[in-house]
Amino acid sequence: MSTKKVGIVGASGYSGEELVYRMLTHPHAHLTAVTSRQYAGQTIAQVFPKFSQYALARTLRFSDPNVELLATQCDIVFLALPHGVAAEFAVPLNNAGVRVIDLSADFRLKSAEIYKEFYTHDHPAPDLLAKSVYGLPELYRQQIKEALLVASPGCYPTSILVPTLPLLKAKLIRPQSIIADSLSGVTGAGRKVEVDYLFAECNESVRPYGIPKHRHLSELEQELSLVAGEKVTMQFTPHLIPVNRGILTTLYLEPLGTPDQIREALQTAYLDEPFVRLLAGKDLPDTKNVVGTNSSTSPGVMTRGPIALSS
């Protein structure tokens, strides 16, 4: 595989930081641009001292984001920007033939109306919705390889869709019975400077939030419905727990088949998938076994929690 020139726009948040790390250490990536209005002029090593050991981190400097320049510097550009802002980069970069992998929610939905319902503003580039590919490699690997615009799935949806979709496809669960109870580390909220995310507000505490209608429900129900062949509505309760990283989702699903059939459907689906590991026998998941372990060959999926199926 040839080495690709890679840029990261909005590289100063937690997602951006992780992307920078993965691109610095990726055998087929060459990081050529990192942008951040706040840190323009500083090297990666100055902003993220823990990457100082990488020679490139000591020389590559953050710059102000500039679409024209990025188009000349990069084969692929990651967007780690807030939703609503990504389009102004995605459109011209795609037009210039540059592949875009967007980490925001902007290109995950197929419907501009549902986008507006959940994100409370008009979609900035509705024409692109039909072209973007939902970047879950277990579901859309071939399309991702060819896509000009990849929408990286949300963290919660990844942990929920991976175990659910094969069972839905095999008609082994009742589509309208899906309940997901999810626990997330605090970086999931991004580097937001709000009182809710202060150390003493999160430490020694746990709380649900964003119910009953968390934004991730929009992409969850879209993908579940596509696979089920009917409109799916589900229950989703996210909780904030005092760890930096990691998601654990416990699913409650009404089975239409036997435990053996369910086990087999999952094994068949994920036998050859490098990023999904099925636990055997009485083993139970633990986030410390997965946090930070995703190989850099699937950059669209930043974190993937383990799965507890309660069937």
Q: Does 74 qualify as catalytic in the annotation?
A: no
Work out the burial of residue 62: count CB atoms within 10 Å of its CB; fewer than 13 is exposed, 13-18 middle, 19 or more buried.
buried
| Tokens linked to 195 | 């009182």
- Nearest CB to its own copies, comparing residues 95 and 289: 289
CB of 141 to its own copies, least distance (A): 17
Binding interface with its own copies (CB under 8 A): 14, 49-53, 179, 181, 183, 185-187, 191-195, 197-209, 211-212, 235, 237, 239, 241-246, 248, 250, 252, 274-275, 277, 284-295, 308, 310
Give the C-alpha separation, 10 to 8, whole Å: 6
Q: How far apart are CA 220 and CA 288, in angstroms?
A: 25
| Residue 178: CB minimum distance to its own copies, A | 11
From 34, 87, 155, 276, active-site residue: 155
What does 47-109 look like in DSSP terms, one character per residue?
HSGGGTTSHHHHH-BEE---HHHHHHH-SEEEE---TTTTHHHHHHHHHTT-EEEE-SSTTT-
For its own copies, give the closer residue by CB, 131 or 141. 141
Closest CB to its own copies among 143 and 296?
Answer: 296
Compute the least distance from the CB of residue 251 to its own copies, in Å. 10
Place of tokens 């036997």: 258
Q: Which is nearer to its own copies, 41 or 274 (CB)?
A: 274
What's the min distance (Å) between Cβ of 224 and its own copies?
17
Q: Select from 136, 133, 158 the least CA-distant residue to 146.
A: 133
Active site residues: 155
